[in-house]
Amino acid sequence: MKKYELLTILKPSLDSEELDKVVDKISSDIKNAKGEVSSVDKMGRKKLAYDLQGYRDGFFTNMIVSLPADAIVEFKRNLKLNDNVLRFMFMEVSKKVQTV
């Protein structure tokens, strides 16, 4: 399994309980796909550079996850279907390059 970084922007209209439920739902989707969550960083509410679906700000969360290669497509599909997720960025964590 490879490590990935998942940055999500969630709707600002969520209260703290709903925000926790959405993050828990994403974590459970990862675990159901036989993956694991290494860390979750709730970065808080931040102003956006431009409107996303009519919102001027959003809650940012950053997660470090490990997923099997065959589960990535389905996981991304579930994120797109989640109404509370405005945007997400899913990228592979690369190993640091050693320079001589």
Contacts 24+ apart (CB under 8 A), 51-58: 52/9, 52/86, 52/87, 53/86, 55/11, 55/12, 55/13, 55/86, 57/12, 58/9, 58/10, 58/11, 58/12, 58/86, 58/87
| CATH fold of the domain at 2-55+67-92 | Alpha-Beta Plaits (3.30.70)
Give the pTM.
0.86
CA-CA-CA-CA torsion sign (61, 65, 71, 72): positive
Task: Please tell me the predicted confidence (pLDDT) of residue 98.
Answer: 58
What percent of the chain shows pLDDT beyond 70?
A: 95
**Domain residue spans of the chain:** 2-55+67-92
